[in-house]
Amino acid sequence: MIRVEVHVASNGLASRVSAEGHGLRAPFGGDVVCAAASAILRSAARTFECASAARVSGEAREAGRLEFAVELVGDDSAEWARGVSDSLIRGLADLASEHPEAVAVRITSAKE
């Protein structure tokens, strides 16, 4: 199972993301649900990383594991960052809804 945790800061930014696990519906490298989760996570991380308005740190220490943290550099990019965060969360939530046996998503917030 793929387990993802997304921490959302008070400004709506997905400030910390961690994911681990593999889809178990096909042999390693052939699971489309796992590939979808990887694409959603990596695209969000790279989108944040390529922006001058955000600082990203993190790593993929091994196959099946990705962690990253995002910090905004300026307030003028907050709306953009919320959009990237919303896309990340919506994509993961939809994937978990469609494949609950393969993906679990937990969203935490600064209010918790």
Q: Which domain holds residue 83?
A: 2-109
What sections of 10-74 are H helices per DSSP? 32-49
Residues 6+ apart with CB under 8 A from 4: 17, 18, 19, 37, 41, 92, 96, 103, 104, 105, 106
Nearest to 56 by CA among 111, 8, 5, 14: 14
Neighbours of 66 (CB within 10 A): 20
The answer to which of 39-43, 50-54, 65-69 has the lowest mean pLDDT is: 50-54
16: domain CATH number is 3.30.70.1490
Quick one: pLDDT band at residue 112, thresholds 50, 70, 90? low
**Cα(4)–Cα(105) distance, integer angstroms:** 5
Question: What integer best gives the mean pLDDT of the chain?
Answer: 89
- Taking only the tens place, the pLDDT of each residue in 3-39 is 999 999 988 899 999 999 987 666 666 789 999 999 9
- Per-residue model confidence (pLDDT) at position 9: 92
pLDDT digits (tens, 9 = 90+) for 73-83: 776 788 888 99
Number of structural domains in the chain: 1
pLDDT of residue 111: 67
